[in-house]
Amino acid sequence: MESRLLTQLGTLRQLEIFLSVAELGSMSRAAEVLHLSHPAVSLQVRKLADAVGLPLHEVIGKKLYLTEAGREVAETGWEIFASLRRLDDSINNLKGLSSGRLAISVVTTAKYFLPRILGPFCREHSGIDLSFHVGNRSEIIQRLSKNLDDLYIFNDLPEDLDIESFQFLPNPLAVIASSRHHLAGRKGLRWSDLADEKFLMREEGSGTCNAIRRHLDAHGYKLGKTMTIESNEAIKHAVVENMGVTVLSAYVLADTVGHELVQLRVKDFPILSDWYVAYPRTKRLSLIAERFLEFVLNKGSDILPMQHLEEQVQRALAQT
C-alpha cells in the first residue's frame, strides 16, 4: 500500500471531524455534535488540509463551502468509513448478537414513537451500540445517499434513490388544534370552515408538507394563511398556545400529556399515509440490523399505542 498521500494523510479522527463539517456545513454545528470546541474542530480540519496540500473549504459571507479538493476528500472519506462499518458488521456477525453497532436515522416525527420500539429491542440485545439520528427529510435523504446508517425511517419515501422499503405502521395526518380553539369539539367540519385559520406548517419539502400538498390538490382545496416552523415540537407548543392550527401525525396526539391538543373532525381528514423503514438496495445489512428490521415489522404495532391512534382516526372519519 505504497502511497505518498497515505503516509501524509491525517488520522481517521481528523477525517471523521472533516466529514462532520462537510455534512453539516458548519464548524460550529460540527463542534456541537462532536462535543468539541470550535478551535479544536478548526485545528483538525486545518491539519488535514495541510496533509492533502490544498484547502478543503472556503467561507463566503458566513457560509462554508467545500472546495473541489474538499469534495474529493469527503467522498473518499465516506467510502472509507462505509468500508470500516462493513468490516465491523462482519466481525460482529462472527461474534453473534451479543455485540454490534446499530445506526438508525429518522425524520423528526418518528421520534414520537421509535423510542418505544427501540427500548424493548435494546433490552433484548443489551450489548449493542446504538446510534440514533433525528433530522428533517432532506437531511435523512442525504445520509441515506451516503450510506451513513443501517436503516432509515420515512413517512414520504424518496423517489430518486434505489432503495428497499417496507411499510410497517399507518401514519394518519390529522388537523390538530388547541383544546381552547373555537372549533374544538364541533362535528361535521369542512375545509371551508378553516378558511380564516392560520396554519402552522413544516418547511417545504418535508414529508408531512408533501403529503398535505398532494391531498389538498387531489380534493381541490387551497391552503390559506401559513406560518412555517421547522420543528414539530415548536409547532406543537405553538398550537397548544392557540397561535394557529396544524396538520401533523396523530402520533403527536398520542405523545401529548393531558388534553392540551385535540383533533378537529374535518371532512376528508385525516390523511391516511404510512411509515416506512428503508435502506439502500445494494446494502448488505448486518446481523443486528436484520434483527431490528424483523423486530420493527413483526412487533412494532404490538408495542405502540395503536388502539389509541386508531380511535383518533375513527373519530375523525365519523362525520356526524
Q: What is the pLDDT of residues 117-157, one digit of tens each?
A: 898 898 888 878 899 899 889 999 999 998 999 999 999 99
Q: Is the pLDDT score of 46 beyond 70? A: yes
Give residue 100's pLDDT.
74
pLDDT in tens, 147-202: 999 999 999 999 899 999 999 888 889 999 999 999 998 988 999 999 999 999 98
pLDDT in tens, 246-296: 998 887 776 655 578 888 989 999 898 889 999 999 998 888 899 899 999
Q: Which of 293, 308, 279 minimizes the C-alpha distance to 117?
A: 293
Using only C-alpha atoms, the chain has a radius of gyration, in whole angstroms, of: 23
Averaged pLDDT, 6-13: 66
Ordered structural domains, the chain, with CATH: 4-75 (1.10.10.10), 88-168+274-308 (3.40.190.10), 171-273 (3.40.190.290)
Give residue 41's pLDDT.
93
What does the alpha-carbon distance between residue 51 and residue 9 come to, in Å, rounded to a whole number? 5
Give residue 8's pLDDT.
55
Q: Is the pLDDT score of 9 beyond 80? A: no
Mean model confidence pLDDT for the chain: 85
Residue pair 184/245 in contact by the 8 Å Cβ criterion: no
The DSSP result for 180-237, as a single string, is TSTTTT--SB-GGGGTTPPEEEPPTTSHHHHHHHHHHHHHT----SEEE-S-HHHHHH
Give residue 5's pLDDT.
52
pLDDT in tens, 11-21: 788 999 999 99
What does the alpha-carbon distance between residue 163 and residue 279 come to, in Å, rounded to a whole number? 6
**Taking the CA of residue 45 as centre, how many other CA atoms within 13 Å lie in the half-sphere pointing to its CB?**
29
What does the alpha-carbon distance between residue 31 and residue 14 come to, in Å, rounded to a whole number? 13
As a dihedral over the C-alpha atoms of residue 146, residue 79, residue 167, residue 105, rounded to 10 degrees, the angle is -60
Give residue 128's pLDDT.
83
Averaged pLDDT, 73-100: 77
Cis peptide before 270 (omega within 30 of 0): yes
The region, left, alpha or beta by phi > 0 then psi within -120 to 50, assigned to residue 113 is alpha
As a dihedral over the C-alpha atoms of residue 197, residue 202, residue 203, residue 205, rounded to 10 degrees, the angle is -110
Give residue 90's pLDDT.
73
Cell of 204: 417545504
Helix (H) or strand (E) holding 15: helix 12-24
Q: For residues 286-299, b (16+ Cβ closer than 10 Å) or e, as one string?
A: bbbbebbbebbeee
DSSP state of 67: -
Give residue 58's pLDDT.
92
Q: How many CB atoms lie within 10 A of CB 7?
A: 9
Cell numbers 392560520 correspond to 198
Res. 311 pLDDT band, cuts 50 70 90: low
pLDDT in tens, 23-36: 889 999 999 988 89
Res. 2 pLDDT band, cuts 50 70 90: very low
Q: How many CB atoms lie within 10 A of CB 228?
A: 13
Q: How many CB atoms lie within 10 A of CB 191?
A: 18
